[in-house]
Amino acid sequence: MLIDIITLFPKMFAGVFGESIIKRAVDKKILDVRFTQLRDFATDKHHHVDDSP
């Protein structure tokens, strides 16, 4: 199973996915979790990902 997580804070998930049942599933190759930094897809020079209200 593949889980893609798109987030502004990918390092925030390291503790959760490194110390839980999910870690065991990843170690056994049952689960693949990928984290994507949302700012990598920003188009301006400051990597803004929000919009004005």
* pLDDT tens, the chain, 53 aa long: 999 999 999 999 888 888 889 999 999 999 999 999 999 999 889 888 888 77
pLDDT on residue 52: 76
- Is residue 5 within 8 Å of residue 34, measured between CB atoms? yes
pLDDT on residue 2: 96
- Let me know how long the chain is: 53
The number of angstroms, rounded, from the C-alpha of 11 to the middle of its chain's C-alpha atoms is: 8
Pairwise CA distance, residues 49 & 46, whole Å = 9
pLDDT on residue 6: 94
pLDDT on residue 37: 94
